[in-house]
Amino acid sequence: MRTISLVVLLTVMAMISGCAHPLAIGPDIAKIERNSSAQPIGKSVGYYIDPLVREKAVTTPGGGGDSVTYFPYQDIETAFYKMLSNVFQNVTLLKSLNESTTPGKELIAYIITPEITTNSSSTSPFTWPPTKFSFTLACSITDRAGKNVARPSVTGEGQAEFEEFKADFPFLENVQRKMHC
C-alpha cells in the first residue's frame, strides 16, 4: 500500500511540475525571397546583435504546466540576414556598434539592431508544445553618427491545434489507433 501511495504521489508531482522543452523558432529560409520586380536599396547596412543577447535562452510557458526554451536571436539570425539582403545592396554583420566607423566600413550607411520579444502559451493540460505563440521584431536603425533614423516593428501571432503537432508524438497516434479499433 505504501508503494502504491508513493507511485501515485510521484505521478501527481510529475503532472503538476513542469519542465522546459527545447524548441527552435527559426523561419523557413526558402520562403524569404525578394519580390522579383523590386530592386534593393542601393545602401550598405550593418547589423549588430550583442554576443550576450545572441547566446541568451528565453523560456516561455508551454502546455501542461511545462515551458519551452529557445534562443530567438540565434534561431532567426540567418533569416534576418537574408531579409536585410533582400532589401539592401550590401549587408554586414558588425562585431561591435563602433565597428561601422573603422576603415573599410565607411560605406555602411545604417546600423540595424534587432530587438526580439516572444511569448507562448497553451490551454492544454496534457501536452507541452505551446498552442499560441507571439513574436515581435523591432529594429533600431541609426545612421553612422548614432542618430536614430527609424524604429520599425512587426508582430506575428500564431496558433496551433493539437491535430497539427500530434505527428511529433508517434506514440499518441498509436494509442489513438488502438482506441478506435
pLDDT tens-digit readout, 7-25: 443 444 444 445 666 667 7
Distances (CA, A) of 41 to 6, 30, 34, 156: 66, 21, 12, 25
The class that CATH gives domain 2-180 is: alpha beta
Written as nine digits, the cell of 174 is 498509436
Amino acid 9: pLDDT: 39
pLDDT in tens, 45-101: 999 999 999 999 988 887 777 788 889 999 999 999 999 999 999 999 999 887 766
pLDDT in tens, 156-169: 998 877 666 655 55
For the chain, helix (H) and strand (E) counts, in that order, are 5, 9
Amino acid 29: pLDDT: 82
pTM for this structure?
A: 0.74
Amino acid 2: pLDDT: 59
Q: How far is CA 136 from the centre of its chain?
A: 9
Is residue 50 helix, strand or coil?
coil
